């Protein structure tokens, strides 16, 4: 770090130095480990009014510890790319020590001339550190915002497979990448089987990542560190891309500038070397018709988003998605008590609402016909007792003991339809959540219960 600082161009204003010296001389630095970037305030040399007191009001987290209220030359050049990296890696400690060594007393002597240094070396270092930051983003345990609430990112690839479009339906062109543990990816596996796509060789082959979400996100190969965790997947067998070990490598091949988290499922177009779609709700609708020319006759024209029920299904998703599908994550990833409490109550209110819908004994949620409403809810409910009840603190009541109608609806789908049972892997599901989220379960212990994971269906 000190070597990087030696290559920065800084035009030192004597007036600015004087003010910075006076203000910093009157402030008492906090211990480095308590607030590692406290010393950044002493480096705002060209800011006309550094105002360290205003900086101190910011959260002490690295990503917000620099002054964003002024156009500090040093802040723009040095701090932003480094802090993004330090916020998610062990470089925070190293950076804090470096900044500590440059605290106010060393900066007090007034310079007699402009300091001219080379910026090229710093630019290269900053770029390398920023690249490292992106590779670590997928495995970051920092899921919530500063207000303690979890907010899911928007998906970035939103096209579809259709005739006359960019992605024409073909055999041998497309690949589905999933994690068996992920409820969003689980949806796509269910529809793929329901539509008979799995019966046609090379139509949409599946590539399964390991269950462990490690430091670099979803992986096709087991992590060397930590070693021995997770349930292995199938590996990456996409022709021409077999050397790619992480999901991020596919995302970067599709878009070299991609910087968000890399999620599953994804439909990969191996002809154009890009991602067709990574939004599960759109993927499953696309699969309703995308490959109808290739699947067996009995599956052609079958849709799980029928036009006559579209409005009802959409209205159902409007309250089920934010409070149940995503609601369990809002509870589990909350980092403040009020954030957790504000989400756990709506979750169970919505479960009560679904229970009431099923009171008449119907087999499916709408018109006694299987639709995507059932598919999207199932992948959350099947994980509720084994994971969400304990791991995500969704513990008002379990499904098996507190919601008899929902439990029976879930059992019917699981035990009577292979598309649901054959795509549900409890070992992978539990290993993923309990071993990946070390901010919630630091010792990675996977509970054995509930026993059984799902109760048998009573005749």
**For residues 113 and 14, what is the distance between their CA atoms, to the nearest angstrom?**
9
Helices (H) and strands (E) in the chain, counts: 20, 4
Find the Cα–Cα–Cα–Cα dihedral 366, 369, 373, 379, rounded to 10°: 130
Kindly give the pairing relationship between strand 174-178 and strand 266-269.
antiparallel
> Three-state SS string across the chain, please?
CHHHHCCCCECCCHHHHHHHHHHHHCCCCCCCCCCCCHHHHHHCCCCCCCCHHHHHCCCCCHHHCCCCCCCCHHHHHHHHHHHHHHCCCCHHHHHHHHHHCCCHHHHCCCCCCCECCCCHHHHHHHHHHHHHHHHHHCCCCCCECCCCCECCCCCCCECCECCCCCECCCCCCEEEEECCCCHHHHHHHHHHHHCCHHHCCCCCCEEECCCCCECCECECCCCCCCCCCCCCCCCCCCCCCCCCCEHHHHHHHHCCCCCCCCCCCEEEECCCCEEEECCHHHHHHHCCCCCCCCCCHHHCCCCCCCHHHHHHHHHHHHHHHHHHHCHHHHHHCCCCHHHHHHHHHHHHHHHHHHHHHHHHCCCCCECCECCHHHHHHHHHHHHHHHHHHHHCCCCCCCHHHHCHHHHHHHHHHHHHCHHHHCCCCHHHHHHHHHHHCCCCCCCCCCCCCCCCCCCCCCC
Q: Which of 47, 67, 72, 182 is catalytic?
A: 182
Helix (H) or strand (E) holding 236: none
CA angle 263-269-275, nearest 5°?
30
182 noted as active-site residue: yes
Q: Which residues are catalytic?
A: 182
């Amino acid at each position: 770090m000190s070597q990087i600082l030696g290559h920065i161009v800084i035009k030192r204003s004597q007036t600015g130095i004087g003010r910075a010296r006076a203000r910093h001389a009157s402030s008492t630095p906090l211990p480095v480990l308590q607030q590692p970037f406290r010393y950044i305030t002493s480096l705002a040399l060209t800011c006309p009014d550094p105002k360290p007191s205003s900086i101190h009001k910011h959260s002490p987290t690295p990503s917000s510890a620099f002054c964003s209220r002024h156009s500090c030359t040093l802040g723009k050049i040095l701090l932003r790319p480094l802090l993004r990296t330090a916020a998610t890696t062990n470089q925070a400690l190293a950076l804090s020590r470096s900044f500590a060594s440059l605290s106010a007393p060393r900066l007090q002597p007034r310079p007699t001339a402009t300091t001219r240094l080379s910026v090229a070396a710093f630019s290269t270092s900053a770029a390398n550190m920023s690249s490292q930051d992106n590779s670590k983003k997928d495995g970051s345990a920092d899921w919530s915002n500063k207000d303690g609430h979890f907010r899911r990112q928007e998906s970035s690839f939103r096209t579809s497979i259709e005739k006359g479009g960019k992605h024409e339906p073909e055999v041998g062109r497309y690949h589905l990448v999933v994690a068996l543990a992920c409820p969003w990816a689980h949806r796509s596996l269910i529809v793929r089987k329901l539509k008979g796509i799995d019966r046609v060789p090379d139509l949409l082959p599946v590539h399964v990542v390991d269950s462990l979400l490690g430091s670099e996100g979803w992986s096709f190969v087991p992590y060397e560190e930590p070693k021995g965790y997770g349930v292995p997947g199938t590996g990456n067998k996409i022709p021409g891309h077999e050397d790619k070990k992480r999901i991020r490598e596919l995302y970067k091949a599709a878009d070299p500038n991609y910087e968000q988290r890399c999620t599953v499922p994804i439909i990969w177009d191996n002809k154009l070397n890009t991602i067709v779609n990574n939004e599960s709700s759109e993927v499953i609708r696309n699969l309703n018709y995308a490959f109808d020319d290739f699947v067996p006759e009995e599956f052609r024209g079958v849709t799980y988003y029928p036009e006559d029920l579209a409005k009802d299904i959409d209205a159902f998703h409007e309250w089920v998605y934010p409070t149940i599908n995503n609601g369990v994550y809002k509870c589990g990833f909350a980092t403040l008590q009020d954030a957790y409490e504000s989400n756990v109550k709506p979750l169970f209110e919505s479960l009560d609402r679904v229970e009431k819908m099923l009171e008449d004994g119907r087999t499916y949620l709408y018109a006694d016909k299987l639709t995507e409403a059932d598919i999207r809810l199932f992948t959350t409910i099947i994980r509720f007792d084994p994971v969400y009840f304990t791991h995500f603190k969704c513990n008002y009541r379990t499904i098996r003991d507190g919601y008899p109608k929902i439990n029976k609806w879930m059992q019917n789908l699981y035990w009577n339809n292979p598309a649901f049972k054959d795509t549900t892997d409890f070992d992978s599901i539990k290993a993923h959540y309990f071993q990946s989220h070390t901010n919630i379960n630091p010792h990675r212990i996977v509970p054995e219960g509930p026993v059984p994971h799902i109760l048998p269906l009573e005749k």
